[in-house]
Amino acid sequence: MAFDSPQFWLAVLQIIAIDIVLGGDNAVVIALACRRLPEQQRKLGIFWGVFGAILLRVVMIFFALSLLTMPYLKIVGAVLLVWIGIKLLQPEPAEGAHEIDASTTLVGAIKTIIVADAVMSLDNVIAIAGAAKDDIGLVIFGLVVSVPIIVWGSQMVMKVMDRYPVTIAIGAGLLGWIAGDMAVTDVVTKEWVSTQAKYLQWIAPASVALLVIAAGKLLAARKPVKPGPLEDLADEEIPK
């Protein structure tokens, strides 16, 4: 994709949105891993940890882009993105979901950030590979722009998501859109769609985006709400 083409910048915006929506956990990991470092080492820990995480993610996405050129793998990736999008709309997990050991050494904190980011970044890798449309340069540019936003703007982003839950639904819909696009651009479907059913190039992404939002909201509504402290007190017997 040319640097001055609208498609390039649209893909960059998609990659940034994906990293912001799916990168909240990664920002929390960075904070937890560096919390025991001396004040003067925390910025170094964050910088080198993020630098290593970016390099590792670029390598992972490079292999993902290569794999997605094989038949049926984009379809498998699309199914995974649908699942990730639906999961994104589910209620937050219980406390203690982030069991990250804080290190007292700079090297230890950097290692923790890189390893944890690699384990937690499968969803990001699949989504970014789909948005990048086989362009590794676009991947690198999008990551370089978006990762600093996650690290230094994570608190603001999380506050916006808490205050305006619709932004999470938009993010889940974006994952559904990319999944639909991946499904119709797989090696086994691309030629047929481009010659026999061009309308699917727009209908499939839009339909899958709506499916992800509808299914995610429906499943979230069916999950029982955890009782708060007032409800727990009301259930207790009052001693006589």
Six-digit token pair at 137? 């340069």
**Average pLDDT for 160-173:** 79
Rounded CA separation 33/108 (Å): 9
Reported pTM: 0.66
Identify the pLDDT of residue 207: 95
Rounded CA separation 22/229 (Å): 30
Q: In the chain, where are the structural domains located?
A: 6-217
pLDDT in tens, 95-136: 444 555 555 677 887 777 777 666 666 667 777 777 777 677
| Residue 209 pLDDT grade (very low, low, confident, very high; cuts 50, 70, 90) | very high
Nearest-Å Rg of the Cα atoms of the chain is 20
**Plot region of 181 (φ>0 → left; ψ -120 to 50 → alpha; else → beta):** alpha
DSSP state of 165: T
